Amino acid sequence: MGSCNGSVGFKIQFTKLFINGQFVDSVSGKTFETRDPRNGEVIASVAEGDKADVDLAVKAARNAFDNGAWPRMSGYERGRILMKFADLIEEHAEELATLDTIDGGKLFSLCKAMDIPHCVHLLRYYAGAADKIHGETLKLSGEFQGYTLKEPIGVIGHIIPWNFPTAMFFLKVSPALAAGCTMIVKPAEQTPLSALYYAHLAKLAGIPHGVLNVVTGFGHTAGSAICSHMDVDKVSFTGSTEVGKKVMEAAAKSNLKHVSLELGGKSPLIIFDDADLDKAVNLAHNAVFFNKGEICAAGSRVFVQEGIFDAFVEKSVEMAKTRVIGDPFDPEVQQGPQIDKKQFDKVLKYIEYGKNEGATLLTGGKSYGDKGYFIEPTIFTDVNEHMKIAKDEIFGPVLCLMKFKTIEEAIEKANATRYGLAAGIITNDLNIANRVSRSVRAGTIWINCFFIFDTSCPFGGFKMSGFGKDQGLDAMEKYLNVKSVITPIYSSPWL
């Protein structure tokens, strides 16, 4: 048991691997440190799983799938257990929000008001969907009848990122559990703590041993072992495009397992002259500074039509200077620390790239405070699409402002990226909104809003932002195989 070196005095209960319904040490006995991004201090030492531990977790999941009750329960029975799981999370919301705040630097108030309720909603949504998995009856051309079955794929490997530890856990786990799959979850090494707590609550809810396993560790060891394992039937990965390519390669070289990927983004936000200026500035700041810019769909490329560009720049800089940075447990704070020193250094390096390539730094651009990994909200203008800050996913509080004249130019600039995760449009003209939303190549388009995620609305990208959807019934389909069954019919009065 570890303790948090922070003002909250919070005790860490779970630091071991969760395999086959039990918390266990890693086979090697190794541990790694997870640190508080507010100050860089060690929160706890966590079991470091690797290939040997993944083998044990996969063995448990395979046995639970091949011989256990979970995939053989009725959807109604699975749904009841998922409902209990959701109830337990609600009962422990304070502890869970605290874990994601000390481990990931996330705002405590938002964890409690948004992240935890969202995961509860996800569980209840898929609990309700678990008994509504249906195939089709087929009218065949000859003297045969056919129908399809939708069956759980099998053993799933979920590899999740550090920016939304709770949300990402349940975006993956909820539909897979509802479908009847068993699984191994590998949380990011930066944020392992809440995943282990969720494993504990899953056991209390009645999810059978072996169905949900959590192996903490590093991507190049534990994550790689999951992707290349011959007894894992599917990998669901959220993270960078570079690592996503490695996941696909490992899946292909092993057993051609199913893969779904939600990868990087460089989302455009297009603001037209007829937009309400104050609303547009507010949306633009939320689009890139929310969660300290550590969000794949961040609207970090902001295109503003020339008629309101200068006024937008002035208001945007004024607002950025008032943004409150500090301890994420403080309810007045709007922006906490970046996840760790590596990400902190990466963001500052990209800010230097922007200055060196000729962009104009309007505000921010520096670290904040004398400890921890805080960075000022940063705004650049005079940015072109060839600059690193306009092309690469920075994953930090860096906004790039660019001017455009015509609708055609805005569409062309918005699509000038290898990514296609999301986009935003701000206009009062329905014709413009319709035209641009159909022209921008991205998986989600927000019109006069941003970051509207709903349990029933599929989310996923185009191009190098990956493939496969989270949320909605589309997400559950990722964890189901379609089987066709055909039988002859004899002496039927009709076909």
Which residues are known catalytic residues?
Answer: 262
HEC string of the chain equals: CEECCCCCCCEECCCCEEECCEEECCCCCCEEEEECCCCCCEEEEEECECHHHHHHHHHHHHHHHHHCCHHHCCHHHHHHHHHHHHHHHHHCHHHHHHHHHHHHCCCHHHHHHHHHHHHHHHHHHHHHHCCCCCCCEEECCCCEEEEEEEEECCEEEEECCCCCHHHHHHHHHHHHHHHCCEEEEECCCCCCHHHHHHHHHHHHHCCCCCCEEECCECHHHHHHHHHHCCCCCEEEEECCHHHHHHHHHHHHHCCCCEEEEECCCCCEEEECCCCCHHHHHHHHHHHHHHHHHCCCCCCCEEEEECCCHHHHHHHHHHHHHCCCECCCCCCCCCECCCCCHHHHHHHHHHHHHHHHCCCEEEECCCEECCCCCEECCEEEECCCCCCHHHHCCCCCCEEEEEEECCHHHHHHHHCCCCEECEEEEECCCHHHHHHHHHHCCCCEEEECCCCCCCCCCCECCEECCEECCECHHHHHHCCEEEEEEEEECCCCCCC
